[in-house]
Amino acid sequence: MNLPPAAAERLRSAVLDGLLDDPKRLPSAYLYDTTGSALFEAICELPEYYLTRAETEILQRHAPEMARRIGSGALLIEPGCGSGEKACTLLQHLPEPAGFVPIEISPSALDGARRLVRERFPQLPVHPLQADFTASFSIPDAPPASRPVFFFPGSTLGNFDPAQALTLLRRWRALGRQALVGVDLRKDPATLLAAYDDARGVTAAFNLNLLDRINREFGADFDPQSFAHEAIWNESEGRIEMHLRSRRAQTVRLDGRRLAFRAGESIHTENSYKYTVDGFAELAARAGWQVAAHWTDSQARFGVQLLSA
């Protein structure tokens, strides 16, 4: 993935700071280079990974009602838009949308989403924005009467700790009056763990690819085979944690430094917080939103909330 120079420098600093920390950590956003994104698409098709199927069921069943509640003149803004496929499901029902703003840090992903939406909706204005959506950004020019509506499907909000999630929701509240947000719901730990440690090892490959990426982009000499993927349910924090655990004592070279790993020491690579309906409503209220509507799949595994200012 060809990142802008500023973004590449942020990545370098975040990687080095995280690996020098104790305990060691790496930012989950950087799991999604070209290889990582392809692996994640494969994860979404796995039998254990219920999240995508559950949310797809919600969108297919309730998109007309969501669109009716959002109303006309919506400028749909999707941070971390990915392929843009989910946005298309909603856009086909929105009455007289003002436009679509896909936001991605990856130029190739952004271009893919732009092309897909323009192909499906040739008359719809599309304003692609290459940016890190976790930082401040400005909404591109749009018709004066349009209403910014944020669309954040998937369970991406769960990758942020509660303070970070609160910051995102507050930032969007300052820019828009509505937001449609997906979150994964609390359920039995066995189901959760299987979703993040599948029998085929695709999630393991996804996690380990982060080390390959650091090797490629920063000339490090990680041996991914000497690390093991691990998923943990942290009950007290209400989250799944992904780790890369060192199989042996070893030293890795990175950016002119030698990083020592003890046998069994882990690198914390991702969190995925799981919400209760009431818990998410409380978080949204702290950011200045109220839950105007809530939808779940037929097994109540996943939730999509329409937030209003």
The predicted structure's pLDDT at residue 75: 96
Chain segment 49-82, per-residue pLDDT in tens:
999 999 999 999 999 999 999 999 999 999 999 8
Residue type, 9: E
pLDDT of residue 205 exceeding 60 = yes
Half-sphere exposure of 297 (CA within 13 A, CB side): 17
The predicted structure's pLDDT at residue 245: 98
Name residue 104's beta-bridge partners.
130
Kind and range of the H or E element at 25? Answer: strand 24-25
pLDDT of residue 3 exceeding 70 = no
Of 55-64, 123-132, 289-298, the range with the lowest mean pLDDT is: 123-132
Residue ranges of domains in the chain: 5-31+189-273, 50-187+274-308
Chain segment 280-292, per-residue pLDDT in tens:
999 999 999 999 9
The predicted structure's pLDDT at residue 2: 59
pLDDT of residue 201 exceeding 60 = yes
Cα 275 from Cα 287, distance rounded (Å)? 16
Chain segment 252-279, per-residue pLDDT in tens:
999 889 999 999 999 999 999 999 999 9
The predicted structure's pLDDT at residue 22: 93
Residue 264 CA, distance from chain mean position: 28
- Average pLDDT (180-195) is 97
Cα 295 from Cα 239, distance rounded (Å)? 22
Q: What is the percent of the chain where pLDDT is above 70?
A: 98
Of 60-69, 103-112, 288-297, the range with the lowest mean pLDDT is: 103-112
Classified as helix, coil or strand, 134 is coil
How many angstroms separate the first and last alpha carbons of the chain? Answer: 36
Q: pLDDT averaged over the chain?
A: 93
For residue 4, what pLDDT band results from cuts at 50, 70 and 90? low
Name residue 89's beta-bridge partners.
none
- Average pLDDT (169-190) is 96
CB 99 within 8 A of CB 75: yes
Cα 190 from Cα 202, distance rounded (Å)? 18
pLDDT of residue 1 exceeding 70 = no
Q: For the whole model, what pTM was predicted?
A: 0.91
- Please state the CATH superfamily assignment of the domain spanning residues 50-187+274-308 in this structure: Vaccinia Virus protein VP39 (3.40.50.150)
Higher pLDDT, 50 or 218: 50
- Residue positions counted in the chain: 309
The predicted structure's pLDDT at residue 78: 96
